[in-house]
């Protein structure tokens, strides 16, 4: 079995694909974190935050083809990476929004639900 060195175009295509995957996972995580915050959900419905996270991860299956990434070719490690990135951004966004500024109270303009 002979190893074939990828061409420059193949390297660039793989790099752009990786950037698209990370960008979509990051944006979906940040949006899910905002939707899980008290600005959108009332404190009584905070348990729905995990459902919002799960929906954000699942929605990416259908959003990847829109940006030119074949999600049907993803292996377990690819979905694990996407899920982990989405979770990290969701958690960081949610935590930042939940914590008021030092010495201040949070300003709520919601909740909508």
Tokens of 99: 């914590």
In order, the DSSP letters of 8-34 are: HHHHHHHHHHHHHHHHHHHHHHHHHHH
- Mean pLDDT for 81-100 is 91
Q: Taking the domains of the chain in order of start, what are their residue ranges?
A: 8-98
For residue 107, the SS3 value is coil
What is residue 16's predicted lDDT score, i.e. its pLDDT?
Answer: 96
What is residue 24's predicted lDDT score, i.e. its pLDDT?
Answer: 97
What is residue 26's predicted lDDT score, i.e. its pLDDT?
Answer: 98
Mind listing the pLDDT tens digit for each residue in 34-88?
Answer: 998 877 777 777 788 999 999 999 999 999 999 999 989 999 999 999 999 999 9
Quote the CA–CA distance of 30 and 96 in Å, as a whole number: 11
């Amino acid at each position: 079995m002979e190893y074939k060195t990828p061409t420059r175009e193949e390297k660039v295509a793989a790099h752009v694909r990786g950037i698209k995957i990370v960008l979509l996972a990051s944006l979906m995580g940040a949006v899910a974190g905002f939707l899980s915050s008290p600005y959108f959900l009332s404190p009584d419905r905070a348990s729905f935050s995990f459902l919002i996270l799960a929906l954000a991860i699942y929605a990416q299956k259908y959003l990847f083809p829109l940006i030119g990434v074949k999600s049907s070719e993803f292996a377990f490690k690819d979905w694990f990476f996407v899920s982990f990135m989405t979770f990290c951004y969701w958690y960081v966004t949610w935590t930042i929004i939940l914590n008021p500024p030092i010495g201040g109270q949070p300003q709520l303009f919601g909740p909508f639900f």
